[in-house]
Amino acid sequence: MSTKLLEGKKGIIFGALDNRSIAWKVAEKAHEHGAQFTLTNTAMALRMGTLNELGEQTNSPIIAADATDMDELTALYQQSMEALGGKIDFVLHSIGMSPNVRKKRAYTDLNYAWLQKTMDISALSFHKVMQAGYQLDAFNEWASVLGLSYIAAQRTFPGYGDMADAKSTLESIARSFGYYLGKEKKVRVNTISQSPTITSAGSGIKGFDGFFNYAEKLSPLGNADADSCADYCVVMFSDLSRMVTMQNLFHDGGFSSTGVSDVIMDLVMGDQG
């Protein structure tokens, strides 16, 4: 039996920006596991040029698309199916951006035009990615669609700002669209809720180092890094996880189930010890 979990599978990977991006690691691992895929990002991100390197490394065509634009998404599916020679078996949505977070606007003083941008880019684009594929009938049966989330969707992390609301919506969209894609096309949809990870998007969050260090000290296994997230994505794209759908899957070294750890207790009690 082949140990290549994605042999013969065709996919689309959104969101590789540079070699720290979670999507970059997913592309490397998916390639190792025998998948063929197209890589996509905004025209602006492509102008940075680093994606060409990944395209060459994984032998993948690169197609520009703004994930908030239905026409560009439709063209992306059409071009991907043509380049790959068939329908799509997996999609990674690894996209997030908040102008409020980027420009350090407090949650109590949000710019609402920017909030709409946050929601459109970080959450509604997940719906658009699925709707474009659904309407084109672009998915093979048992295809797997994944989005990336963060635990601030369920619990408050000051500094994560309006991204928390976007992630809650993202997780809800996975359940809602997962129903229709499951029933009508046997396609599954999940989100992976990942540990704080050092990437361009991650380090843009105010207090990111605090989130990262706190999670590292609380999680029994420590923080999950981008490489291990990529391993999990490969499993979720593979046939080994074919009955898993409409779930938010924590990939966080146990953080989400831990109330307190000895290390945190020692830190809190330090003054009295």
Structure tokens at 206: 């105010």
DSSP letter, residue 203: H
Nearer to ligand NAD, 86 or 222 (CB): 222
At 25, the amino acid letter reads K
Structure tokens at 96: 């997030």
Contact characters 136-175, ligand NAD, x per CB under 6 A: ------------xxx-------------------------
Contact characters 253-272, ligand NAD, x per CB under 6 A: --------------------
Residue from 133, 161, 178, 202 touching ligand NAD (CB under 6 A): that is 202
Q: Which of 10, 2, 94, 4 is nearest to 59 (CA)?
A: 10
Helix (H) or strand (E) holding 218: helix 208-218
Site stretch for ligand NAD (CB under 6 A), options 12-20, 172-180, 214-222, 230-238: 12-20
Nearer to ligand NAD, 5 or 13 (CB): 13
Size of the site for ligand NAD (CB under 6 A): 27
Structure tokens at 214: 């706190």
3-state secondary structure of 139: strand
Asked if residue 5 binds ligand NAD (CB under 6 A), the reply is no
Separation of alpha carbons 214 and 249, rounded Å: 20
Residue from 191, 194, 228, 241 touching ligand NAD (CB under 6 A): that is 194
What phi and psi values does residue 55 have, to the nearest 5 degrees?
-60, -45
To ligand NAD, the closest distance from the beta carbon of 63 in angstroms equals 11
Distances 267 to 135, 205, 208, 247 between C-alpha atoms, Å: 53, 24, 19, 34
Residue from 5, 12, 29, 42 touching ligand NAD (CB under 6 A): that is 42
- List strand residue ranges (DSSP E) for the chain, in order: 10-14, 36-41, 62-64, 88-93, 139-149, 188-194, 247-251
- Subset of 112-141 contacting ligand NAD (CB under 6 A): 121
Please state whether beta strands 36-41 and 10-14 pair in parallel, antiparallel, or not at all (unpaired).
Answer: parallel
DSSP letter, residue 259: S
At 191, the amino acid letter reads T
Nearer to ligand NAD, 22 or 218 (CB): 22
214-175-24 Cα angle (round to 5): 55
Asked if residue 199 binds ligand NAD (CB under 6 A), the reply is yes
Nearer to ligand NAD, 86 or 231 (CB): 231
Residue from 36, 38, 41, 245 touching ligand NAD (CB under 6 A): that is 41
Site stretch for ligand NAD (CB under 6 A), options 55-63, 198-206, 237-245, 254-262: 198-206
Nearer to ligand NAD, 74 or 149 (CB): 149
Residue from 12, 35, 67, 129 touching ligand NAD (CB under 6 A): that is 67
Binding positions for ligand NAD, rule: CB under 6 A = 14-15, 17, 21-23, 41-42, 45, 66-68, 94-97, 121, 148-150, 194, 196-197, 199-202
